[in-house]
Amino acid sequence: MNIFGRPHYTSDATQFIDQLKASRPELEQGQVEGRALLWDKSVDREFQAQARAATVPQQAYVYQTQPDPH
């Protein structure tokens, strides 16, 4: 028995989302398409390695100018 469990309780937000999905079943497919568009991307490991190798270390104080080597 879970002392924190409330089996018969659903929050107002959960009820709203359940009603919205029931009234608009195409909504979930739109969410999947949107996620695929923005997040589900293939990762180019070679490009990532090149980008990491090309980074320049940052100074401790960003706005400090380097002394002129001449």
Higher-confidence position of 4 and 25:
25
| Res 69: pLDDT | 67
| Res 70: pLDDT | 67
What is the sign, positive or negative, of the torsion defined by CA atoms of 7, 8, 12, 13?
A: positive
pTM over 0.75: no
| Res 33: pLDDT | 92
Tell me the average pLDDT across 22-27: 93
Residue 34 domain-assigned (yes or no): yes
Higher-confidence position of 33 and 2:
33
Domain assignment of residue 34, given as a range: 12-53
Structural domains counted in the chain: 1
Contacts for 10 with CB less than 8 Å, ≥ 6 apart = 18
Residue 24 domain-assigned (yes or no): yes
